């Protein structure tokens, strides 16, 4: 997969995770931070805002890690290409 497409997908995942965290916090605040209904079994299998919060918090670190590693690999390739052109005559 091309690097710009992979980077765009990672940024979309990061945006979705941030939106899930924001929705989870706002919806949970609307419920006055109640934990009633966190378990799906006692809540007619409806999602609680904490579920969105947990998913969002869980997705942010891997997305950030992928973005940083993609950037680090690109920097390494650029440095290698730059130094490879200078030392070619030695």
Query: Is 22 a domain residue?
Result: yes
Range of the domain at 16: 3-68
- pLDDT of 75 reads 85
Q: Are 52 and 24 in contact (CB under 8 A)?
A: yes
Give the residue with greater pLDDT, 76 vs 57: 57
Q: Where are the beta strands (DSSP E) in the chain?
A: none
Q: What is the pTM of this model?
A: 0.79
Both tokens of 84, joined, read 């490879």
Query: Is 52 a domain residue?
Result: yes
Query: Is 74 a domain residue?
Result: no
- Would you call 49 exposed, middle or buried from its count of C-beta atoms within 10 A (0-12, 13-18, 19+)? buried
43 pLDDT higher than 80: yes
- pLDDT of 9 reads 95
Mean per-residue pLDDT of the chain: 91
Percent of residues, the chain, with pLDDT higher than 70: 93
Q: How far apart are CA 37 and CA 45, in angstroms?
A: 9
């Amino acid at each position: 997969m091309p690097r710009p497409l992979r980077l765009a997908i990672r940024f979309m995942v990061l945006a979705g995770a941030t939106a899930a965290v924001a929705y989870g916090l706002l919806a949970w605040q609307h419920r006055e931070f109640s934990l009633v209904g966190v378990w799906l079994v006692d809540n007619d299998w409806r999602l609680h805002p904490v579920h969105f919060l947990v998913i969002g918090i869980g997705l942010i670190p891997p997305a950030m890690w992928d973005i940083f590693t993609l950037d680090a690999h690109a920097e390494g390739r650029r440095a290698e290409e730059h130094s490879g052109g200078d030392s070619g005559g030695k």
